[in-house]
Amino acid sequence: MKYMLIQLETAEEVSRRDNPEQAGAYWGAWGAYVQAINQAGIVVYGAGLMPPASATTVRVAGGERQVQDGPFADSKEMLGGFFIIDVPDLDTALEWAARSPAASAGSVEVRPLLPPMP
């Protein structure tokens, strides 16, 4: 079964990416996790994302496109990246989610993928 592991990080955690004193530990933890999940052979696809300030939000209201710089949602956690994994069951997906660096500094949402459209 395929699941998406949605990596949610706090603003403080995302800021560690560029902090000279904290970047090594931040990227080291993610590097170890990425290596482990890839070696397990369960990754279908995954990617990290640029910080939320680089986002553009689009919505259509009254038939008109509205574009806003930055993320729209006011949230304490930000989408940092995702993995799509193929594992036997939810328990296995939850085990991998718990191993993510985001699980201890933010959260990891685990969501099954819809089956392909006919």
Task: Tell me the backbone φ, ψ of residue 89, rounded to 5 degrees.
Answer: -160, 175
What confidence score (pLDDT) does residue 71 get? Answer: 65
Q: Can you give the pTM of this predicted structure?
A: 0.86
Spatial distance between the Cα atoms of 26 and 65, rounded to a whole number of angstroms:
38
* Helices 23-39, 90-99: crossing angle, 10 deg rounding: 150
Q: What is the arithmetic mean of pLDDT over 91-117?
A: 94
What confidence score (pLDDT) does residue 98 get? Answer: 96
Task: Tell me the backbone φ, ψ of residue 62, rounded to 5 degrees.
Answer: 60, 30
Write down all domains in the chain, each with its CATH number in brackets.
2-112 (3.30.70.1060)
More confident position, 14 or 37: 37
